[in-house]
Every structure is written in structure tokens, then in C-alpha cells.
Amino acid sequence: MRLKAPAKDLLFWSAKWAAAGVCVILLGVIVSIALPISEPVGAESVDEESVEAAIADEINDERRERGFQPYRYSERLDATATAYSREMVEYDFYSHTSPKSGGIEQRIPCDSPAENLNSALYAVTISQDSNRLRPADSPLVEQGYTGEFRIENQTELAEYIVAKWMASENHKRNILWTEGVRQGIGVAVEDRERGKRVVVTQQIC
């Protein structure tokens, strides 16, 4: 048995669906109908857990290249690092000392902790002058830097974060710390008028 929709329902849905530009032939008449469209994951989307994993891999690659053991993943450090990145975004500060949770020793659950912080603009074109921390050996610079660059995907984002750390002696020392065994990476994303600001915390014990 065939079910027939009332004519007024067809007219209603034809009008409602016309904006999508998808056409079918119904009862000899061309009618535009809208199909459900899921929003694509574009360049401006950031999956925090994926970026955290990519940054951890980049750090351990740097360690392996120099003959050091890779940092082991720590669920506890991962949680505290993520909480701290989110805290910096929520309370609008950028420092190893928090007005809410105190210093490194109060936050990181071990006797001799170390911490690296970083941030980057994602899906935003940045000039050399507006990004003082851009290292000379950034992977984005090596790929034809001409005065401006734009982080377009999460792989570039992870590479850029670690390159900035490796260009700073203090941050590099933490990445290559011979007494460090475990690490956690925490990423928080802040929506801005243009693109996103990504805040990263690495905690090491």
C-alpha cells in the first residue's frame, strides 16, 4: 500500500527545502528539497586530545633523537596539565603562578616538578612582528617563510608548539630533562574574533 502525502504538505516542504538547491522530480514537477547537512570539520576546529597526543609525540621524538628515553604518559599529569591550561583561559592569565591554584609545587603531584607553557593562534595569519616568540627554526618558517604564516592544521600546531619550546633554552632543558620520567600535556582552546588561541601546558615529573 502506498502512502500519499497531502498536497499542502508537499507544497510546505517544497518551499521550506528550496534553499538547499537539491532537486528531485516529484509527480512530474521539479521540486527543491533540503537534505540534512552536517557541518564539516574545517581548519578552525581543534580536537584538544589529538593535539595533546601529537605534542607528546613531538617531544618524545626530540628526546629519542638525542638518545634519551621518551617520557611515559601520566594520566594524573595529563589531568593537572589540562586543568591548568583551562584555568589560564578561564581566568585570563598566562603564568606559572596562578592567582587561583598557586605555583608549580602546589599543582604538580611530585617532589621535583617541571612545567612548560606555550600558546599559539590557530587559523589566523600572523606576521613576524606580531609573534615575538616565533623561532628561527620553526617548521613553518622552513617551508618558505615570507614574513607571514598561518597554522592550518593540528599537525602544524603540534610542530609549532614544540619548535617554540626547543628554541628557548629553559623550555628545551625541560623537554630534554634527564631526570624526567613522566609527562602530561594539557590543551585548552579559546575562541577569538579571528581564529582560536590555543594554550598548552606540559608537566613533567
pLDDT over 50 at 156, yes or no:
yes
Q: What is the band of 151 on the pLDDT scale with cuts at 50, 70, 90?
A: confident
| pLDDT score of 3 | 39
| pLDDT score of 192 | 83
DSSP letter for each residue of 39-52: PP--TT---HHHHH
| pLDDT score of 141 | 44
- Nearest CA to 188 out of 179, 203, 178, 198 is that of 198
The mean pLDDT of 157-182, rounded to a whole number, is 94
Are 183 and 204 in contact by the 8 Å Cβ rule? The answer is yes
Q: How far apart are CA 64 and CA 86, in angstroms?
A: 30
pLDDT over 80 at 78, yes or no:
yes
pLDDT over 60 at 199, yes or no:
yes
| pLDDT score of 18 | 41
pLDDT over 60 at 35, yes or no:
no
Q: How far apart are CA 102 and CA 96, in angstroms?
A: 8
Task: Quickly tell me which residue has 595569519 as its cell.
Answer: 125
The mean pLDDT of 124-135, rounded to a whole number, is 53
pTM score above 0.85: no
The mean pLDDT of 50-76, rounded to a whole number, is 97
Are 197 and 122 in contact by the 8 Å Cβ rule? The answer is yes
Cα 116 to its chain centre, rounded Å, is: 16
The mean pLDDT of 172-201, rounded to a whole number, is 93
